[in-house]
Chains A and B, each alone.
Chain A
């Protein structure tokens, strides 16, 4: 059994119609409930719920404060390699884009690690393009022998791996796994992933479960918003998160709402996802899953991120660079996508304090 079986059951549902049938009265009813069901979650994602965003925000805010307090965890991505064997039409690292590729040596990793640690950051996520050769489990585990000295929590966002590989990584000290499905629509998935191992929809969909089974402390999922109708994508993401939370109770499940950003190709998102849509998605998720971590990256603008802080977000990246070696030698390599919020860690910390939130730099200890 995996989430794929659940997914099979619902994927053909006429979501657009179901969403359009929701009435304001349905939304009101759901907002009065304590715990909400899957169909209630669907109601909160509907166009009818757009008239209740303030009520949803109040509820999401209260739930978040109760579960997480007035705190916000900060982290940074560390790009180790931009080699990739796939052709995702929306990403600059696609094998079709020709540019000089780079992978950090252990010495270079140490230099970048030092630079990040100096900003006061304790939690990082290692990122690479998808290449079993250039970002192998061995390479990542080796990098941990250096990174351990500088950070108290290290996650990965790399190509999907087998359970045994994840077990090796957990052994090395890596404690979180992020893998976005990109899009839960199989047809669109095949269209935009034209070549490479990433074409295997099922293998990717089962990845979070392999991570849970391997003992990752936290596993983060998400859909890249803009590839399909966002209401449906967010609904399935929520069901996926709930499924994982139920089945792997030891793992902390988190979700993210990445929106497509400008990149080296000229990919135009097929579906528009407005700020209002993003907010609705986030609020509905918080109300549906009160204990799930929600991450917001520097893909979003400064202004929007400021506003999103009290709406259910529990983790934020700050001062991110999305290029390999970007913390010590910026603008020398290709960035994965443009970032929108370029503020420093100190600026983000000050902003959080100003908003009445404690920036949490450290929330785990590699044992």
Chain B
């Protein structure tokens, strides 16, 4: 079955994106990434020591994955833009996950600033994936601004609370053309499967893998769960819709 995910001119077999924060050490992170079979890995530029290219975290990220540096730590569009440029200048490629968080208590993204950063960076040729609070209109603005995919949060970052924003995310999946990648909140493989069953294009998981008792095995579990969820979706569980869909339309003959 040819079911690839296309973003920014690249095609991916795996629909599991993984994060690199919160691991106890780089060796464990490396193994977990390998076992997850993920092809897109996000890394916080603020954790990358660009002055010491030999020592940094990038050496422990498998060579064949697409790096998606993120702007974690940015509190405004300007900061995110500067971080993105720094990441590109230091050879991390042109993918960028925009994270603009101006609330340090819940770590909720600031959609307005995120859209502003998206616009500037997309114009500069970045493949921009904005992390956002699920909101259809905001997602549309990000699409107009040039986003390559949209990353709504399932629940507050690091909360492992599952897809609390289910209704909103479902609307986005149904209405948006861009790939929807559920980011943040997924705490169990079953929740990753749930997102995939809903029709999400991919999921991003970090805390649930990094802080498991056995991160490497958990990475495998997520790989399988994402595959299962996707297969279920393709097999006809969805697409679901918030509007009523008559199973055999009475007006179908009209066109």
A interface, CB within 8 angstroms of B: 65-71, 122, 152, 217, 245-246, 249-253, 291, 353, 356-358, 360-365, 367
Query: Complex: how many Å from CA A68 to CA B206?
Result: 12
Some 26 contacts from A to B, beta carbons below 8 A apart, are A66-B158, A66-B207, A68-B22, A69-B21, A70-B24, A71-B21, A152-B49, A217-B73, A245-B104, A249-B102, A250-B102, A252-B104, A291-B104, A291-B105, A291-B106, A291-B107, A356-B25, A358-B25, A358-B26, A360-B47, A363-B73, A364-B73, A365-B45, A365-B83, A367-B82, A367-B83
**Closest 4 A/B residue pairs (Cβ):** A69-B22, A70-B24, A249-B103, A367-B82
* Residue in B23, B46, B82, B86 whose CB lies within 8 Å of A363: B46
Q: Are A69 and B207 in contact (CB under 8 A)?
A: yes
- Report the minimal beta-carbon distance from A171 to chain B, rounded to whole angstroms: 14
Q: Are B211 and A70 in contact (CB under 8 A)?
A: yes
Q: Are A251 and B104 in contact (CB under 8 A)?
A: yes
Q: Are A358 and B23 in contact (CB under 8 A)?
A: yes
Residues of A within 8 Å of B73, CB to CB, are 217, 363-365
Residues of B within 8 Å of A360, CB to CB, are 47
Residues of A within 8 Å of B14, CB to CB, are none
Residues of A within 8 Å of B83, CB to CB, are 365, 367
Q: Does B159 contact A (CB under 8 A)?
A: yes
Known: A245-B104, A250-B75, A358-B26. A363 touches B47 (CB 8 A): yes
Residues of B within 8 Å of A251, CB to CB, are 104
Q: Is the interface of A mostly helix, strand, loop or mixed?
A: loop
- Report the minimal beta-carbon distance from A143 to chain B, rounded to whole angstroms: 19
Give the A-B pair count, Cβ closer than 8 A.
77
Q: Are A69 and B79 in contact (CB under 8 A)?
A: no
Tell me the nearest residue of chain B to A65, going by C-beta: B211
Residues of B within 8 Å of A66, CB to CB, are 158-160, 207, 211
Query: Complex: how many Å from CA A356 to CA B27?
Result: 12
Q: Are B46 and A365 in contact (CB under 8 A)?
A: yes
Query: Complex: how many Å from CA A357 to CA B49?
Result: 19
- Report the minimal beta-carbon distance from A121 to chain B, rounded to whole angstroms: 11
Q: Are B158 and A67 in contact (CB under 8 A)?
A: yes
Tell me the nearest residue of chain A to B81, going by C-beta: A367
Query: Complex: how many Å from CA A253 to CA B160?
Result: 23
Query: Complex: how many Å from CA A242 to CA B204?
Result: 31
- Report the minimal beta-carbon distance from A290 to chain B, rounded to whole angstroms: 9
- Report the minimal beta-carbon distance from B55 to chain A, rounded to whole angstroms: 8
Residues of A within 8 Å of B106, CB to CB, are 291
Query: Complex: how many Å from CA A217 to CA B76?
Result: 12
Tell me the nearest residue of chain B to A151, going by C-beta: B51
Which of B25, B160, B210 has the most chain A CB within a 10 Å cutoff? B25
Q: Are B160 and A362 in contact (CB under 8 A)?
A: no
